[in-house]
Amino acid sequence: MKAGDPPEIRYAASGDVSIAYAVLSDGPVDLVYVHGFAGNLQAELENPYYRAFYERLASFSRLILFDRRGTGLSDRMREAPTLETRMDDLRAVLDAAVSERAVVIGTFEAASMCLLFAATYPERVLALVLYNPIAKGTRAPDYPWAEQPDVPPTIDELRRTWGSTAFAEAHAREMAPSFAGDPEFIRHLARAQRFAASPAAAMTIVRMAMDVDVRDVLPVIRVPTLVLHMRTKRGEAEYVTARIPRARRLEVPGPDYMMTLLGESVYDDVERFVESVRGEAPPDTVLATILFTDIVRSTETASQLGDRAWAELVKRHHALVRGHLDRFRGRELDTAGDGFFAMFDGPVRAIRCADAITRAMPELGLQVRAGLHAGECEVVGEKLTGIAVNIGARVASHAGAGEVLVSQTVRDLVAGSGVEFADRGSTELKGVPGEWRLYAVADAAS
């Protein structure tokens, strides 16, 4: 990208949504920047502060930029997107940009999606660079750095002041004090905010950020990870770094903490990190959502129907299950008798698939139980192995007729999706240490 060149902005199709993206430069390694909060490619590439930042990243990479759905030049949201949907958008951009593997940079709440993406699609992620990553959006006893759950006044203030000079000045005082008295910088900042999102879209992003909880995903990250953070975010950054294997942490010196203004020494560190991971082999583990289904009272039903009628009914059952697996992008891994073992790359799709299967079975005169768990699995050829598979099977064994039961991990990963659960309490799972809290799907919101 040369000074004065107009940005070449294209669109990637993610389902029925168009995501605006641009590829800058042609460096030796792909680097995709995932904007925290909201951005607008056109406005940012015309903004001298953003443009200098992007030119610095592009100096050592093939830089890929995009506007998240609902912001900038991308299609507006019909509903608040889940982490799963946002992963689909990132994958669509990488595919459109013909990027097989990329270093992924994610800032603030966008880092949570990047973490989930790296765990789910490790073959597409060469490494992670995270800036002030958020693993959980609301405060908990073991996560004291997040916002309190009750923050409507903050959201109301955002709606009233978003994109105004006053809002930009307050943001600059916190994140870019060296520029807080610069009218030209404030004008550019307020303009960038208005071009990035409407007040309603900004409020939606805040609510989405509060729903995030990817703490269980952190130990599953197997790609090299660099965590950058402000001094005031040290506790949260230490928490995230300690739980990601091979992660290292770097506190940025300030006093300006906007990603576009971190200073040459920080960008040098990022460049050295990116150079160090070139040629890194992909991990042989993935984060997968495991589904097990089983026909309830199959032995009794088979005895009543006889072998031939039962075989025909099982054939119809299998066809119905496979139809729903195709619909929700599930992959059949095994069929043992009258049960299915399948995997999904997203827990929302897995829940909705399981719900659709259990609801459809009465038309065959059958009832099934289903269990779901998300965890790290080892990839062995076309098969998955690991404790997560065993946990999924054990969760299914506790489900009642027509019930979809999920682990706490699954419930946490679909926060904000509209899926509703009934708490089934804690129980022991045979052969698995500790107690496990299970939840029944009450409304899959499909």
Give residue 3's pLDDT: 46
Residues 240 and 331 in one domain: no
- Give the other-Cβ count within 10 Å of 422's Cβ: 12
Residues 87 and 165 in one domain: yes
Residue 77 has pLDDT above 80, yes or no: no
- Residue 3 domain-assigned (yes or no): no
Average pLDDT over residues 137-142: 91
Residues 184 and 302 in one domain: no
Number of domains present in the structure of the chain:
2
Give the whole-angstrom CA distance, residue 130 versus residue 153. Answer: 29
- Residue 337 domain-assigned (yes or no): yes
Residues 313 and 243 in one domain: no
Residues 47, 175, 256, 148: what is their CA dihedral angle, to the nearest 10 degrees?
A: -140
Give residue 151's pLDDT: 55
Give the whole-angstrom CA distance, residue 114 versus residue 207. Answer: 18
- Residue 325 domain-assigned (yes or no): yes
**Are the CB atoms for 116 and 91 separated by under 8 Å?**
no
- Residue 4 domain-assigned (yes or no): no
- Residue 391 domain-assigned (yes or no): yes
Which of 126-130, 141-145, 186-190, 378-382 comes out lowest in average pLDDT?
378-382
DSSP 152-171: HHHHHHHHHHTTSHHHHHHH
Which of 125-139, 163-177, 195-209 comes out lowest in average pLDDT?
195-209
Which of 76-80, 97-101, 117-121, 383-387 comes out lowest in average pLDDT?
76-80
Residues 234 and 298 in one domain: no
- Residue 330 domain-assigned (yes or no): yes
What does the pLDDT look like over 171-211, one tens digit per residue? 999 999 999 999 999 999 999 999 999 998 888 888 888 88
CATH number for position 350 = 3.30.70.1230
Parent domain of 403? 285-443
Return all residues near 172 (Cβ < 8 A) that are at least 6 apart. Answer: 179, 180, 185, 186, 189
Half-sphere exposure of 75 (CA within 13 A, CB side): 16
Average pLDDT over residues 251-262: 95
Q: Which two tokens stand for residue 70?
A: 């609902």
What does the pLDDT look like over 211-249, one tens digit per residue? 899 999 999 999 999 999 999 999 999 999 999 999 999
Boundary (domain end) residue, out of 277, 309, 333: 277
Which of 143-157, 321-335, 346-360, 369-383 comes out lowest in average pLDDT?
143-157
Boundary (domain end) residue, out of 251, 277, 303: 277
Give the whole-angstrom CA distance, residue 323 versus residue 188. Answer: 51
Return all residues near 421 (Cβ < 8 A) that are at least 6 apart. Answer: 406, 411, 439, 440, 441, 442
E strand or H helix at 353: helix 347-360
Strands 225-229 and 339-344: unpaired
Residues 72 and 132 in one domain: yes
In 3D, which of 307, 341, 308 has the Cα closest to residue 322?
341
Q: pTM of the entire structure?
A: 0.94
- Residue 1 domain-assigned (yes or no): no
